[in-house]
Each structure stands twice: as structure tokens, then as C-alpha cells.
Amino acid sequence: MIPAATECPELPLSIARVRSDHTDRERRGLAVGTAVRARIHTAVAGYDDLFTAVGVKPADLREHGETALAQIEGWAPGLHRELIAVAAGAEVPPWRIGMLNARTEILATVGATGEGECSTAVYVGGPGAPHTIQTWDWHREFTASRTLVRLRPVGGGPTVSTFTEAGILAKIGVNSAGLGVHFNILSHRSDGTGINVPVHVVARRVLEEATTVAEARDIAASATVSASTVLTVVTYDGRESDAACIEMSPAGTAAVRPDRDGVLLHTNHFLDPTLAKGDQAAREASTHPRLAHLSAHRELLMSCDRAHWTDLLRSHDVDGAPICCHPQPDLPSHQQWSTLLTVSLDLAASSLRYHDGGPCTAGTSTWQHF
């Protein structure tokens, strides 16, 4: 009998925390799928509703999910086996798990990347471990699908800790080799032609296999994607830090390096000059003022006081840069954004430091570790 993955005793009210000691793909997937079965069912129902609201035909979802699984099998066969086992543990058809992992790609098929999304800030210019923080902005209907997962190494690789949505392989995370990943969606005019390797799967493979920024870039560049995303990869070996924003799109992959101060900022538009030519973010979109706000207040990120990092993100629409997002009741639900998590990478401890909610509600006692 396969034992279920264990849930941590300090489980917060709204975020699942799961650990699995299995190093076998099938046993691990079955255990994790079983542990978050209810949350996976909630996520499936939520994405069914979201896809319908933005114009994805329900009749197309099975094909999208099956295509995603085929793409994953070709690019990362071990992760494909794990996902099939997750589906068994969650008691859903495998294509449903393929659909969840390809949710960004499916949204891209109808150009529904949305106006809002995440803001990321990294500093690697000082002594000690990097300073990193980001908001995770998404539709509040997915609050109940938020999940933290810690996985033992496979084949001699590092331990992986990731924040993600139930049933999805990875999003924001850190590994025991001193590498971490932040995650922001992008939009490019080359997006949306079919379903290729899901960007969430790329994030998981980077966390499992990479120990350097160069290795992470090579993994990302090896994937043929159909939706754009930036993985902000940060490393720390106990002495030196490194970082790059790895921008991925069907048109190519590029790495954006920190500036001369060691600051690296990203919101939801391309920064690489070549890829930026195909950027689809509107000029009036919030991504531009959000990036400008982060840049103007970068000294907060450079501070050794972690509370100042949070202060960097305490900006709302009325301040001119909605980094901390709140729903707008006059808009339909699929056009509303909420900051559902504020998260920092503690690379020295190989852990995630997170606040359940937006930065405006964070305080000294609200931060937790995983």
C-alpha cells in the first residue's frame, strides 16, 4: 500500500503543506495526488469555469490536456509518469491533470493572459544571501487550490520545495542546491499556437536539475513553448550570488541580467530588446507603472531589514502602481485579480518564506517558512 504524503502539523488554514519522501516517480505522484485530492477537484472546477468565461470551448479541453501530456512525455518523461500517478491519486482522468499543468497555454490559445499578474524583485549586490520577494496574483477563486510541496531528491538531485496550485508540478520554488525560481506570466504575439511544453513543467525541471543560472537557462531553452513566461532564477552557494530573468516565448529564450547595483526587477512585459518587439502588454497596462515603482524604491530591497522588502510591494492602484492587488467588484470575476500570496526565497536555508495574502496585510508575525 502506498502511504499518503504527509501534511505538516503547522498547516495554515488555507494553504496545503505536503511533504513526500518517495523518490520513485509513480509512488510520489500517487501520494501527492491523494494528499491534495479535494484541492485538485476544486482546481479542475475552477479552471473549467475560467476557461469558459474567457472563450475556451469546453469541448476542446480534453484535447488540450492530452496534447499537453504528450508534450510533457516527450520533453520530461519522468515528470509525465509522475503526473499520471497524480491523476490516479486524485481520482481524475489524466487529461485533467494535463489541463491543469497547461492552464497558461490554454489561456494563451484565446489570448486571455489578463491585465494583472505578479511583480518580482531580486537583489544580489550585497554580502550574504540574495534578497528576493514577489507577489503571486491570480483569481481569488483559486485561493483554495494553493499548495506547498516538498519533495525528496530523484536520482541524486536536490530536494525541491515549491509553491504551486494543486495538481500543477511547480511555480515558485527553491532547491537544496541553492537555486530558486520566481515566476511571472508574459504575453507575446507568437503565443497561443497549439499546446507545447507547459511553462509550469519547465519551472519544475529547473528546480529538479539546475544548480546554476546557466544550467537553468539551458533547460528553459530546450523546451518548445506555446505561452510566454519569465523565470527569475537566483542562486547562492554560501559565498556568491547570481541571478537572471529567463524570458521564454515561442519566439525564443533570453536572459536578462541584474543591473550594476545587483538589482533585477520584473513584472509582466518583456525586457530583452529582441523579444520586447513582440510584447503584447498594452502601453496602459499596470505592468509598466509597477516596474517603475519597484525601480524607484529599490533601496528598500537593498536593505538588510526584510520588512523593507515587503514595504517595496505595498503599492495599490490609488498609489499609481497596483503591485498589491484587490478585487474590483464592478468587474466580472475573470477580470479580477487578487494578491493571494507574498513569497520570498530563503536560499541560505533552502526554504520559502511566505505570507498568506497581499503585502499590505503582512506583519512581523504573519510570515511562515516552508
- For helices 94-101 and 61-75, give the axis angle rounded to 10 degrees: 80
Q: CA 157, CA 137: separation in Å to the nearest integer?
A: 30
Is the per-residue pLDDT at 292 higher than 90?
A: yes
Mean pLDDT of the chain: 93
- Contact criterion met (CB below 8 Å) for 233 and 210: yes
Q: What sign does the CA torsion over 79, 80, 84, 87 have?
A: positive
- Per-residue pLDDT band for 155 (boundaries 50, 70, 90) equals confident
Residue with cell 520530461: 76
**Class of 22-109 in CATH:** mainly alpha
pLDDT(335) > 80: no
Instruction: Compute CA 62 distance to the chain's CA centroid, rounded to the nearest angstrom.
Output: 24
Q: How far is residue 333 from each of residues 90, 103, 164, 197, 275, measured CA to CA in Å?
A: 27, 17, 21, 28, 31
Average pLDDT over residues 4-21: 67
Sorting pLDDT into bands at 50, 70 and 90, what band is 7?
A: very low
Question: 326-361 as b/e, with b when 16 or more CB fall inside 10 Å?
Answer: eeeeeeeebbbbbbbbbbbbbbeebbbbbbbbbbee
Output the pLDDT for position 291.
Answer: 97
Per-residue pLDDT reduced to its tens digit, 179-192:
999 999 999 999 99
* CA atoms 29, 31, 33, 36: torsion sign: negative
Neighbours of 45 (CB within 10 A): 12
Confidence of residue 212 (pLDDT cuts 50, 70, 90): very high
Contacts 24+ apart (CB under 8 A), 78-83: 78/25, 78/154, 79/25, 79/169, 79/201, 79/204, 79/205, 81/25, 81/26, 81/29, 82/25, 82/26, 82/28, 82/29, 82/169, 83/29, 83/169
Q: What does the chain come to in residues?
A: 370
Please measure the distance between the N-terminal and C-terminal CA atoms of the chain and give it in whole angstroms. Answer: 28
| φ/ψ (deg, to 5) at 97 | -70, -35
Sign of CA dihedral 132, 138, 141, 145: negative
Supply the pLDDT for residue 327: 83
Per-residue pLDDT band at 346 (split at 50, 70, 90): very high
pLDDT exceeds 90 at position 104: yes
Running DSSP on this structure, what letter comes out for residue 224? -
pLDDT digits (tens, 9 = 90+) for 18-36: 999 999 999 999 999 999 9
Domain with CATH 1.10.10 in the chain: 22-109
pLDDT of residue 10: 39
| Sheet with 179-185: strands ordered across | 6-7, 16-20, 146-151, 160-165, 172-175, 179-185, 229-236, 241-249, 252-256
Tell me what pLDDT residue 4 has.
Answer: 55
Amino acid at 306: R
* Residue ranges of the chain assigned to CATH 3.60.60.10: 120-369
Q: Radius of gyration of the chain from Cα atoms?
A: 19
Going by C-alpha positions, the residue among 12, 191, 170, 173 that lies closest to residue 82 is: 170
SS3 category, 87: helix
How far is it, in rounded angstroms, from Cα 138 to Cα 117?
Answer: 7
Output the CA torsion sign for 94, 206, 22, 340: negative
pLDDT at 156: 82
Q: Are 343 and 327 in contact (CB under 8 A)?
A: no
Cell digits of residue 280? 503584447
Confidence of residue 14 (pLDDT cuts 50, 70, 90): confident
Predicted local confidence at residue 5, as pLDDT: 64
The model scores a pTM over 0.85:
yes
Banded model confidence at residue 249, pLDDT cuts 50, 70, 90:
very high
Tell me which CATH homologous superfamily contains domain 120-369.
Answer: Penicillin V Acylase; Chain A (3.60.60.10)
Distance CA 338, CA 116 (A): 9
Residue predicted with more confidence, 5 or 255 = 255
Mapped onto helix, strand or coil, the DSSP state of residue 254 is strand
* CA 114, chain centre distance (Å): 16
Residue 332 pLDDT: 72
